[in-house]
Amino acid sequence: MDDTADSVETARARPRPLRRNRLDDELRLFRDRLTHGTTHKPEFEYELLTMFARNETSAPFAMPALCFIFYIASMFWASFMEATMWIAIVSISRVYMLDQCRRLLSIPRADVNVGQWRRHFIRIETINGLALAAFALIGISMAPPAHSVPATFSSHVFIFATLMVVLAIRMTFSSTLPHVFLAGTVPMTLAVTGRLFMLGDPFYFALASMAVGIHVFFVYLAQGLHSTALAMVEYRAEKDSLISELEEASAISDEARRRAEAANKAKSRFLATMSHELRTPLNAIMGFSEVMEKEILGPIGSDVYREYARNIYVSGNHLLCIINEILDLSRIEAGRYDLHEETIRLTDIAEDCERLIKIKADAKTLQIVEDFAPDLPHVWADPRAMRQICLNLLSNALKFTPRGGRITLTVGHTSDGGQFITIADTGPGIPNEEIPRVLQAFGQGSLAHETAEGGTGLGLPIVQNLITLHGGTFDLQSELRKGTEVTVTLPRQRVLQIITPLQPLGQERHRDPAPRPARQPRMRPASPYGTAAPYRVSGGA
């Protein structure tokens, strides 16, 4: 009762379209089974039918050759006429069976009625079974002479052995169709059993009982082989279904990717167009509002108007920053952000960015702590990108750190020879489950969103993409209510080292021992990195 209630609840909870599709499939399958007269799926029955036909045609001379051996052996206890008629009937039935199997394999699958062909093969195999059963009956009317008892015993044992061989062969060939196997073997088993029982000897009674038991055993084996063949066909159908589903999913994903690429191109064109259309009036708005705020062309006459002009300038500047961030992220995602690399010092970049936010930090009474490693070598990087990375991280720390907090700016070298910049704050922190969302475009943490000054959520994605373009790594560690620490690392291949001279200056080799006037040491050509001695990338890169 409980199971019924559960099934009813499950059926009610299942969406109507899903239930309707499932009922349609079951109804279609039931209709196919009734039409074809099968207990399995029609496609499985067709596969089993064709497997039987292929088994028969794969060895067309095996059964006729075996029957010819039986024909030669039957000459010892049967007349020539009976044996010849038997071999003729068996040969005709076998040829007809092979012909029908080849005909089935030549017909298109859509034109095959599985039920009719299965019944047709059962009828043909029944004729074959009756023909084989006649082997046990030929010569039965001939009374053997008294001195031929050993020959008679040998003939009966040979007939019993013949039954075993026929059962084994027919089980191998027709195990995919159990009814065909029964139609081809039951008549011969009955004939052999009847002949042995007619002899009235206990030994032959035991032999007849053994024949029945062996036939039952072969039927059991045939059922097992049929189950194995059916499982193999089902697994193959499932494999084909999975392959078709994978191909369909692949086609759908290719189409979705094509549409996404087209949408991305359209987005890039739209942003490129809108950037020009928005920046032009923004420049005018910001310029005129700044002129009005500073009263360059004359006094405004009202402090309220001056405050309005200041608000217009600040809002326009904020909108311009948002547009620039969106365009930068779009160029990075589209693969159109080109790095203009040169030799720079990360400490210089960090100091410049710290000076830019110093005024805002003092307004919030924030303490900025600098921790720079001494004598850091130059790195090969894009100064604008590195400045944007450092400024974005410092701006985030400035926005999310409460008054009286502390921001730590660290620049140093890693254990493998690279260099890193770390910005740590004492802000509200980010829950671990929200970190993936924060690293997505326009994503912000819940607690930070409530306490921060506002933002677009593009700073960290831009930082992550820019450092990836440099071949570096991005790492964000945060603990709720304690703060956040972000580290960007440049690989060792971007750190430059000074090439030492091959020999000390003033100690050059001379070709002749004669003294020559001292000459001025020749300096190497100026490095494209702006230093007297050339640099090389550590690690040979």
What would the 3-class secondary structure string for 204-237 be? HHHHHHHHHHHHHHHHHHHHHHHHHHHHHHHHHH
Residue 77 included in any domain: no
Per-residue model confidence (pLDDT) at position 6: 47
Residue 408 has φ and ψ, to the nearest 5°, of -110, 125
Measured distance CA(166)–CA(237) in Å, rounded = 33
Residue 57 included in any domain: no
Which residues have C-beta within 8 Å of that of residue 245, sequence separation ≥ 6? none
Pairing assessment for the beta strands 367-372 and 406-413 based on DSSP bridges:
parallel
Q: Residue 248 to residues 237, 256, 348, 511: CA-CA distances in angstroms?
A: 16, 12, 55, 78
In angstroms, the first-to-last Cα distance of the chain is 75
What is the side-by-side order of every strand in the sheet holding 483-490? 367-372, 406-413, 419-425, 483-490, 473-479
Domain total in the chain? 1
Answer yes or no: are the C-beta atoms of 91 and 115 closer than 8 Å.
Answer: no
Q: Residue 523 to residues 304, 509, 526, 531: CA-CA distances in angstroms?
A: 64, 16, 8, 12
Pick left, alpha or beta for residue 429 (phi over 0 → left; psi -120 to 50 → alpha; otherwise beta): left
Residue 342 has φ and ψ, to the nearest 5°, of -160, 175
Among candidate residues 359, 357, 393, the one with its CA nearest the CA of residue 467 = 393
Residue 190 included in any domain: no
Per-residue model confidence (pLDDT) at position 453: 57
Per-residue model confidence (pLDDT) at position 47: 84
Residue 356 included in any domain: yes
Per-residue model confidence (pLDDT) at position 1: 43
Q: Where are the beta strands (DSSP E) in 286-438?
A: 342-344, 367-372, 379-381, 406-413, 419-425
List the chain residues with pLDDT less than 50.
1-20, 23, 27, 29-31, 33-37, 143, 145-149, 510-511, 518-541
Measured distance CA(65)–CA(46) in Å, rounded = 29
Pairing assessment for the beta strands 496-498 and 483-490 based on DSSP bridges:
unpaired
Per-residue model confidence (pLDDT) at position 140: 66
Per-residue model confidence (pLDDT) at position 334: 66
Among candidate residues 413, 360, 363, 420, the one with its CA nearest the CA of residue 389 = 420
Residue 138 included in any domain: no
CATH number, residue 395:
3.30.565.10
Taken as a whole, the chain contains a residue count of 541
Answer yes or no: are the C-beta atoms of 285 and 298 closer than 8 Å.
Answer: no
Among candidate residues 197, 213, 214, 195, the one with its CA nearest the CA of residue 205 = 197
CA dihedral over 149, 152, 156, 157, signed as positive or negative: positive
CA dihedral over 473, 479, 480, 485, signed as positive or negative: negative
Could you give the dihedral angle defined by the CA atoms of residues 232, 237, 238 and 243, in that order, rounded to the nearest 10 degrees? 130
The CB density around residue 495, as the number of other CB atoms within 10 Å, is 25
Please report how the helices 80-106 and 114-133 are oriented relative to each other, as an axis angle in degrees rounded to 10: 170
Residue 303 included in any domain: no
Provide the residue range defining the domain that includes 452: 342-494
Per-residue model confidence (pLDDT) at position 503: 59
Residue 333 has φ and ψ, to the nearest 5°, of -65, -35
Max CA-CA distance within the chain?
A: 149
